[in-house]
């Protein structure tokens, strides 16, 4: 037993410390087929536990990787046999809900769906929403600054966190559990940790901002015949909905067919031969008036020739069915070898960008597929690329070049909401300039001088 594991075993008893097969029998991630490699896993139950673990590891110059729900797609939580994992899975308590201040205090291991349901029980709304809601944790959402389906109205995770508590590499607890909307007294320290992927500190608790539960939810699904019409539809429907639009999700035809054709269980609400489909959600305060507003807004879009067909959900089940299509990304597993991408760019550049990606892929692969969908309203596209029947893992770098390199010329980003981790590290310079990267390294050196927290992720120090 190594010195650091011996020290951890003296500080943590029972199933709070896992070693050996108790570690190696755990899956490395929701989307991964391999298993965790690490010397030990500390299953913290409190901020004090995290502080103790980091203090011990710091004294032994031991690398530490934080684990939440392991639903990430960028490789931020990948470990080696020489690492120690601090898991937040047991820090899963909702500590407080204040309906007057509209705040919720949570530990970082709380599953996102549990937060949504707890808010709903108080007639409040926590608007962060993504397909992994049933397994991702709020700590992971904070560490990657997750986006999801309602960014166009409510913003990223960053916009929904009022305060947080984090533990630095040496065990120092930085508690900034601010509950106010406005606090301009010096630096807003929480922003250093939001989106830092566990490289500057481990987030243990947070104060979340809640909204009043909307009194209406309208969901519509439309077919559009060209990309310029998709963009004009976005402008027209947003204006027509009078500020109530909460989601604008676009599916290219290949994605729509994938999730509405067997073995997928979703039935197509509209014919499958249109090039684009848009799922629009509006949340308002007047059930009858909001429904009429949706109908009038859609009628205007029909009159302008922007949409070819449409359905409006008439029940919660129909709403759930429409969203189930959008969430059914797992159907892409049937394509064989695939590589997934999460990119962002100015909306005006999307069509030409995808044409460039298709051209580059076609130069290398005869039977490739580029399945496209995403949060177009906030400039975020998701691509699932299959090189074809003969595709293999060795194709990853070539496909990445096809997808990432064109972003440099249009001011795009290699990561819209999934983080950088290991997957996008080699392409970070396409999205961040030298001065930005140098300042990131300065922050890393200041907060983690021994480079013990998630080293080698995002960038090299």
Predicted confidence at residue 29, as pLDDT, reads: 84
Distance CA 169, CA 246 (A): 38
CA distance 349 to 343: 12
pLDDT number for residue 129:
95
Task: Give me the pLDDT at residue 236, please.
Answer: 97
Q: What pLDDT sits at residue 455?
A: 96
Count CA atoms within 13 Å of residue 322 on its CB side: 25
Please state, in angstroms and as integers, the Cα–Cα distance from residue 87 to each residue in 34, 47, 55, 108, 206, following that order: 18, 12, 15, 10, 16
Average pLDDT over residues 419-435: 95
Q: What is the dihedral of CA 160, 251, 270, 221, to 10 degrees?
A: 30
What would the mean pLDDT of 78-94 be, rounded to a whole number? 96
Length of the chain in terms of residues written: 461
Token couple for 375: 């949060």
- Per-position b or e across 52-69, b if 16+ CB within 10 A of its CB: bbbbbbbebebbbbbbbb
Query: Can you give the C-alpha Rg of the chain in angstroms?
Result: 23
Res 325 pLDDT > 90? yes
User: What is the enclosing helix (H) or strand (E) of 340?
Assistant: strand 339-344
Domains of the chain: 3-87 (3.30.43.10), 94-212 (3.30.465.10), 216-323 (3.30.70.2190), 330-435 (3.30.70.2740)
Region 79-101: mean pLDDT is 97
Q: Could you give the percent of the chain with pLDDT greater than 70?
A: 100
Does the structure show a pLDDT above 90 at 393?
A: no
pLDDT in tens, 157-202: 999 999 999 999 999 999 999 999 999 999 999 999 999 999 999 9
In the predicted structure, residue 445 carries a pLDDT above the cut 80? yes
- Phi and psi for 179 in degrees, rounded to 5? -115, 10
- Per residue in 265-320, pLDDT (tens digit) is 999 999 999 999 999 999 999 988 999 999 999 999 999 999 999 999 999 999 99
Work out the mean pLDDT of the chain and round it to a whole number. Answer: 95
Cβ neighbours for 393, distance < 8 A, ≥ 6 positions apart? 337
Per-residue pLDDT tens digits for 15-37: 999 999 999 999 888 778 789 99
pLDDT at 423: 92
| pLDDT tens, residue by residue, 108-136 | 999 999 999 999 999 999 999 998 999 99
| pLDDT above 70 for 242 | yes
CA distance 13 to 124: 39
Classify 108 as helix, strand or coil. coil
pLDDT at position 461 is 85
Q: Which residues contact 293 (CB under 8 A, 6 or more apart)?
A: 240, 241, 242, 244, 282, 284
Over 90: is that where the pLDDT of 391 sits? Answer: no
1 — pLDDT class (breaks 50, 70, 90)? low
């Amino acid at each position: 037993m190594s010195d650091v594991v011996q020290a951890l075993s003296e500080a943590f008893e029972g199933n709070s410390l896992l070693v050996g097969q108790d570690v190696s029998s755990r899956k490395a991630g929701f989307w991964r087929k391999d298993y965790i490699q690490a010397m030990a896993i500390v299953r913290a139950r409190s901020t004090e536990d995290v502080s103790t673990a980091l203090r011990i590891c710091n004294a032994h110059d031991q690398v530490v990787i934080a684990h939440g729900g392991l639903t990430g797609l960028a490789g931020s939580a990948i470990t080696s046999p020489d690492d120690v994992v601090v898991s937040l899975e047991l820090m899963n308590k909702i500590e407080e809900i204040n309906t007057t201040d509209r705040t919720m205090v949570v530990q970082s291991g709380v599953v996102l769906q549990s937060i949504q349901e707890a808010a709903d029980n108080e007639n409040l709304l926590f608007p962060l929403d993504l397909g992994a809601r049933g397994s991702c944790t709020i700590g992971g959402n904070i560490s990657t600054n997750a986006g999801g389906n309602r960014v166009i109205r409510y913003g990223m995770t960053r916009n929904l966190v009022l305060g947080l508590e984090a533990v630095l590499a040496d065990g120092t607890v930085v508690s900034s559990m601010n509950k106010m909307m406005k606090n301009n007294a010096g630096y807003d320290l929480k922003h250093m940790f939001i989106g830092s992927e566990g490289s500057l500190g481990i987030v243990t608790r947070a104060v979340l901002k809640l909204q009043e539960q909307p009194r209406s939810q309208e969901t519509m699904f439309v077919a559009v015949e060209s990309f310029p019409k998709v963009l004009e539809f976005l402008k027209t429907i947003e204006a027509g909905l009078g500020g109530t639009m909460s989601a604008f999700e676009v599916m290219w035809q290949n994605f729509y067919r994938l999730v509405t054709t067997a073995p997928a269980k979703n039935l197509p609400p509209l014919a499958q031969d249109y090039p684009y489909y848009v799922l629009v959600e509006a949340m308002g305060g007047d059930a009858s008036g909001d429904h009429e507003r949706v109908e009038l807004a859609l009628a205007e879009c029909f009159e302008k020739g922007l949409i070819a067909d449409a359905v409006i959900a008439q029940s919660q089940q129909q709403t759930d069915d429409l969203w189930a299509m959008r969430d059914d990304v797992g159907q892409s597993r049937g394509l064989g070898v695939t590589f997934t991408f999460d990119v962002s760019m100015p909306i005006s550049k999307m069509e030409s960008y995808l044409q460039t990606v298709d051209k580059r892929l076609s130069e290398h692969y005869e039977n490739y597929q580029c399945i496209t969908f995403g949060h177009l309203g906030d400039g975020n596209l998701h691509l699932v690329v299959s090189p074809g029947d003969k595709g293999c893992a060795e194709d990853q770098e070539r496909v990445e070049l096809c997808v990432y390199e064109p972003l440099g010329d249009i001011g795009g980003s290699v990561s819209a909401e999934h983080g950088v981790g290991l997957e996008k590290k080699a392409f970070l310079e396409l999205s961040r300039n030298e001065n930005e990267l140098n300042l990131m390294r300065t922050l890393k050196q200041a907060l983690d001088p021994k480079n013990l927290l998630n080293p080698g992720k995002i960038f090299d120090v």
